[in-house]
Amino acid sequence: MNCANHPDRERSAFCQNCGKPVCSECVRNVANSIYCEPCLTARVGATAPPPVYSYTSASGYPPVAPPVAAGEPSPGLAALLGVSPTKGAGVLPRAEVPETYGKESGYDLSRVAYYQAFGYWKLACILQGVFARSIAGASGGDTSSVDSFPQHVALLAQTASDLLERSPQ
């Protein structure tokens, strides 16, 4: 997705007010918030209203958020997080990171799924221990904050198992 104002430039952020993609030249960063020029102008009291997207949904009404192509970041999430650090210059796409790291470091990453699964299993064990201590009274009697822990423990353990089943042995 490219900048709404400069179609030849890659977007670097989304306006936190309207969701419009903007390049580094169009970004207006004010108090840790990202705006496009029209939204910033409207926010500081001038009369220029924020831009309105010209597309509509199948129902004829404007969609709640701009459409997002598969694999693209969500403007709503970008508005929540601000500029995505993983979209900056020099940051590898997620799929290329393990291969590049292995090549550059010389480490054998053929068993990385095992270590990922081990990490999920350790988290499941820690969470189970916190739950057991809470039920035993370590939480002062209020167990409402840990009621969902058994489901999370099961999910973490299942994720570990799934990783091991999919990984080459």
**Could you read off the pLDDT of 35-53 as tens digits, one per residue?**
888 887 777 765 444 555 4
| Cα first-last separation, the chain | 39
Q: Are 45 and 39 in contact (CB under 8 A)?
A: no
Read off the pLDDT of residues 112-165 as tens digits, 9 standing for 90 and up: 888 899 999 999 999 999 889 888 887 776 777 788 888 899 999 999 998 888
Instruction: Supply the pLDDT for residue 72.
Output: 58
Q: Tell me, what amino acid is at 109?
A: L
Query: What are 128-131's contacts with CB under 8 Å, separation 24+?
Result: 128/153
Q: Give the global pTM.
A: 0.44
Domain-wise residue ranges, the chain: 13-91, 112-166
